[in-house]
Structure 1
Amino acid sequence: MSTPAATAPAGGHEGEPHEDGLNNRLSWLRAGVLGANDGIVSVAGLVMGLAGATDDRGTILVGGVAGLVAGALSMAAGEYVSVSTQRDAELALLDKERTELREMPVEELAELRGLLEDRGLTPEVAAEVAAQLTARDALGAHAELELGIDPDDITNPWNAALASMLAFTVGALLPLLTILLPGLWRIPVTAVAVLAALAVTGVTSARIGYADPRRALLRNVAGGFFAMAVTYLVGMILGSHVA
């Protein structure tokens, strides 16, 4: 009698991603969400501090634009360096594995069999699976089971850097535009808009990482509120003393 698992079609089930290239997509998605979050918080804090120090919208605009440009370039450079380091490490590990497969094929086959046994396969089944995986794609099998790397999905630093830079810019534009509104309403409007945007980025980042969205939302909103409150007070204090 066949079991449901035996008759079910092979492949990932609904709600769990198994697409090719998932590593790269998750990399630039995370970079984009984090970039937007940083853009919102950092520029919101900056313009709130400026608004606390001065009512001159020209000064606030210049300071906000300078912060936006510097932050976007910094985010892109940081993400590029970080992901490039990861990529270099992955490529070096793959080169080492290629050498070992070429020079020690018997030992590598035994190692692959041991890795499969460690995952619960019996020695007989592990030996058969190791032989088939080696015949089909030895490097791919060793890379995924031994190193946790997909040779066909190496992280791309340019994608992550560009996503981070663009997302930072988009996120930073929200507080920069709202703080330039005329009248006393610009402060509360900016605060509400920023907190709403941080709620969105918090929930989005949690869903990408399959985490609890409520915790991420609370962390984001609380952090953003704290940053704006502190920088606004600092701006008021320094502005009154400088004036």
Structure 2
Amino acid sequence: MSGRFDRRVMVVTGAAQGIGRRVAELAAAEGARLVLVDIADYVQGVAADLRDQGADVLALQADLEAWEGAESVMARAHERFGRIDILINNVGGTIWAQPYEHYTPAQIQKEIQRSLFPTLWCCRAVLPHMVDQQAGVIVNVSSVATRGLMRVPYGAAKGGVNALTVNLAYEYAGQGIRVNATAPGGTEAPPRLTPRNTEAQSEQAQAWYQRLIDQTNAHSFMHRYGTLDEQAAPILFLASDAASYLTGTVLPVAGGDLG
């Protein structure tokens, strides 16, 4: 249990499944002390599995779409470990896939709330701790969907994540804090334990979603979805000392699609 992240304290949000879980598993194998955060109680099982493998893990359930959730998580992480070295912001994801004219105002607000605000709040909540340390790394998980079909509000949210990444990097570089992002493309993952959208899908909705899939594959030079390992590895590279001269970078991880 030693490697690039030996004794580093890493907070991973959206850690119950998908990319977040894989990041946590790989970081644990390289010695990270982990704070795993998710709104779902599945995160407790992930933490238990990693503890069985010898990792030092704190699991927290919180709603990161609200400031209070993000503030509480960072406070509890700092209380437990005394510092926060790395923050991986991984909460977000498309809820609906449809032409923009079909989005209701409530749907638009929900997409922005889900895919922008957890990153905004968590960055704000962690920064005082990193400023006190005069050191820290933030890696935001954005998306190449900033140029895509059928998800304008989600793309707008991830465009906000990109702007946040660059502005924070500029503002805090002098205080030893690096801020980067990856922009994943389509990613193969097990079925979600809790679907983002529990509504019954009409034939029209299924056709719109298929357009999204077709566009994703067409814009990738490799014409395929990536794997969880192919997404987690660049995130952990940016979090590591190997990326010590990188900040303000949004790295597309989409088989050649630059977003």
Bigger helix share = 1
Higher relative contact order (CA closer than 8 Å, sequence separation 6+): 1
TM-score between both structures, scaled by the size of structure 1: 0.23
Q: Which has the higher strand share?
A: 2
TM-score by length of 2: 0.22
Q: Which structure has the larger Rg?
A: 1
